[in-house]
Amino acid sequence: MIPNGGTEINQAVQTLRDGGLVAFPTETVYGLGADASNPEAIKKIFTAKGRPSNHPLIVHIATPDHDDVGQADWTAQLAHWARDISEDALKLINAFWPGPLTLVFKKDKRVLTELTGGQDTVAIRAPAHPLAQGLLRQFKGGVVAPSANRFGKVSPTSAADVRSEFEGMSDLMVLDGGDCKVGIESTIIDLSSGDHAVLLRPGMITPSDILTRTGIQVRLPGELAMSTVANNLPKVSGSLRAHYAPATPLRLYQSGRVLDALCEFPDTKSRVAVGVWESESPIGEDGHPSVHFEEIPLPSDSTAFASLLYRSLRDLDQQDWDLILFPEPPAGEEWDGVRDRLQRASFGSGPSSNNHASN
Ligand code: TXA
Ligand code: MG
C-alpha cells in the first residue's frame, strides 16, 4: 500500500532504537514518536514540542501479530505497562482496538515516570493505521507519541503538516501515510480508579458507542465527586482551555447568527473566512456588513467534519485572514469531540468565543 514502506519502517525502527524521534501517521492525527523505555528519547519529545514535562504521554502498542486475537493476547501485550486490567478494560479493548480509543490504567512500576508526568497512571492505545502498526510490530516495544505539533497548536493530519511544524528539525524522520481519516485525537477513558470508566477527552468514539458495544456506562468527570477525579495535575493537556489553536483568531457563531457575528467588525479592512454548513443556504450579498468575507462550506456530518477540521484550520491559517468564523456545532454527542476542539481553539479570541471547558 505504501511505497518503500518496508525500508522506511526499518529505518524508523533503527532511529527509535538509537534514541531518535520518528513522526508517524495514526488514524487520528500524526504522532511524534520515541522509545517509551528510553528516558533521554522521551525528553527529546518534550523539548521538540515545547511541552511542559508534567504533561503525560500516550504509549502506543502493537496489536498482537496473528489472526483471532483474544483477551489473553491483549493482557500479555499490556502486562509490561498496566496493572489491574479489569473485565471492562478487556471489553473496551475487544470492541475498539486497534482504533481511536486511549485507556488510562494504573501503571506498572517499570513504566518511566518521565512519560507519565510523575503520575501513577499510564495512557495506552493501539492505533489502527497500518503504517503505525507496521512500525510498532517491528519495533516490538512501546512508542510514546504525542500529536506531532508544537505545544498548544493544531494537531497535524498529514506528513507535510508535521514537516511544517518542525521546520527547524530538518533531520526529523517522518513516515508518510497520507491524510488521517478520523482527523481529531482519540477518545480518552480513565479506568484507573477501578470503579468507573471516566471520559477524559471526547473523540469520535462516543459514550453511546461504548454503551452500545460493551454495555459500559461512561461517566463524565463532572458526574463524580470531585475527590475521585480531581487533583491538581494536568491529566489531559488538551484540557487546558486554550489549545489546538491556529495563529489566526478563531471565533464561533451561534447557528443563524452569522450576520450578527460579522457585524461585530466595523473595520471594513477586515478579511473574514466564514465556515458555513453546506446544507444551509449561502449568506449572500445582502444585509451583511462591509467586511470582506468568504464562505467556506463545511460538511454537516460530524465524521466528515472531524476528518477535515484541522486540515481546514491549517489551510485557512496559511491564507491572509484576520479572523476565522466557524459555526458552533449542533447539539449531540457525536459532535462532542469536534465541539471540544473548536471551543479550545477559539478560547480567548473575543466576544463570540465560547469559553466553556468541558474537562
Ligand atoms: O489520537 C491521539 O491520541 C494522538 C495520536 C498521535 O495517538 N495522540 C495524542 O497525544 O493526542 P497528546 O499527547 O497530544 O495527547 C494525549 C493526552 C494528553 O492530553 C495527556 O495529558 C493525556 O493524553 N494523558 C496521557 N497520559 C495520561 C494519564 N496517565 N492520565 C490522564 N491523561 C493522560
Ligand atoms: Mg496533542
Q: What are the sequence ranges of the domains in the chain? A: 5-239, 250-346
pLDDT over 70 percentage in the chain: 89
Going from the Cα of 225 to the center of ligand 1, the distance in angstroms, rounded, reads 23
Closest atom of ligand 1 relative to the 115 alpha carbon: 26
Please provide the DSSP assignment of 115-182 as one string: HHTT-SEEEEE----HHHHHHHHHH-S-EE--BSS-TTBPPP-SHHHHHHHTTT-TT-EE----S-SS
| Amino acid 356: pLDDT | 35
Query: Is the pLDDT assigned to residue 341 strictly greater than 90?
Result: yes
Question: How many Cβ atoms sit within 10 Å of the Cβ of residue 261?
Answer: 21
Dist. CA 30–CA 178, nearest whole Å? 10
Query: Is the pLDDT assigned to residue 205 strictly greater than 60?
Result: yes
Quick: pLDDT tens for 223-249: 875 544 444 445 555 556 667 889 999
Dist. CA 122–CA 236, nearest whole Å? 12
Nearest ligand to the CA of 185 is 1
Q: How is residue 73 written as a grid cell?
A: 493476547
Query: Is the pLDDT assigned to residue 163 strictly greater than 70?
Result: yes
| Amino acid 264: pLDDT | 76
Please provide the DSSP assignment of 209-261 as one string: HHHHHH---EEPGGGS-HHHH--SS-S-GGGSSS-SB-SS-EEEE-TT-HHHH
Dist. CA 274–CA 251, nearest whole Å? 10
125 is in an annotated binding site: yes
Dist. CA 277–CA 293, nearest whole Å? 15
Asked if the ipTM is above 0.95, the reply is yes
Q: What is the mean pLDDT of residues 185-194?
A: 96
Nearest ligand to the CA of 240 is 1
Q: How confident is the model at residue 260 (pLDDT cuts 50, 70, 90)?
A: confident
Whose C-alpha lies nearest to ligand 1, atom 10?
A: 146
- Does the beta carbon of 237 sit less than 6 angstroms from any atom of ligand 1? yes
Q: How is residue 337 written as a grid cell?
A: 469531540
Going from the Cα of 127 to the center of ligand 2, the distance in angstroms, rounded, reads 15
Q: How confident is the model at residue 48 (pLDDT cuts 50, 70, 90)?
A: very high
Is 86 or 4 the better-scoring residue by pLDDT? 86
| Amino acid 286: pLDDT | 62
| Amino acid 279: pLDDT | 84
Q: How confident is the model at residue 66 (pLDDT cuts 50, 70, 90)?
A: confident
CATH of domain 5-239: 3.90.870.10
DSSP state of 67: S
Cβ atoms of 87 and 101 within 8 Å: the answer is: no
Query: Is the pLDDT assigned to residue 312 strictly greater than 60?
Result: yes
Q: How is residue 309 written as a grid cell?
A: 477540521
Whose C-alpha lies nearest to ligand 1, atom 13?
A: 146
Whose C-alpha lies nearest to ligand 1, atom 12?
A: 146
Q: How confident is the model at residue 71 (pLDDT cuts 50, 70, 90)?
A: confident
Closest atom of ligand 1 relative to the 119 alpha carbon: 29
Query: Is the pLDDT assigned to residue 76 strictly greater than 50?
Result: yes
Length of the chain: 359
Q: Are strands 101-107 and 121-125 parallel, antiparallel or unpaired?
A: antiparallel
| Amino acid 353: pLDDT | 39
Average pLDDT over the chain reads: 89
| Amino acid 259: pLDDT | 83
Q: What is the mean pLDDT of residues 328-340?
A: 96
Q: Which range is least confidently modeled, 65-69, 170-174, 316-320?
A: 65-69
Dist. CA 202–CA 248, nearest whole Å? 24
Quick: pLDDT tens for 270-297: 899 999 999 887 776 665 567 888 999 9
Q: What is the mean pLDDT of residues 49-76?
A: 91
Q: Are strands 197-201 and 187-190 parallel, antiparallel or unpaired?
A: antiparallel
| Amino acid 235: pLDDT | 56
| Amino acid 357: pLDDT | 31
- Does the beta carbon of 148 sit less than 6 angstroms from any atom of ligand 1? no
Select from 45, 58, 165 the residue to mutate for testing ligand 1; criterion: most ligand atoms less than 8 Å from CB: 58
Closest atom of ligand 1 relative to the 236 alpha carbon: 21
* Phi, then psi, of 296 in degrees rounded to 5: -110, 110
| Amino acid 352: pLDDT | 42
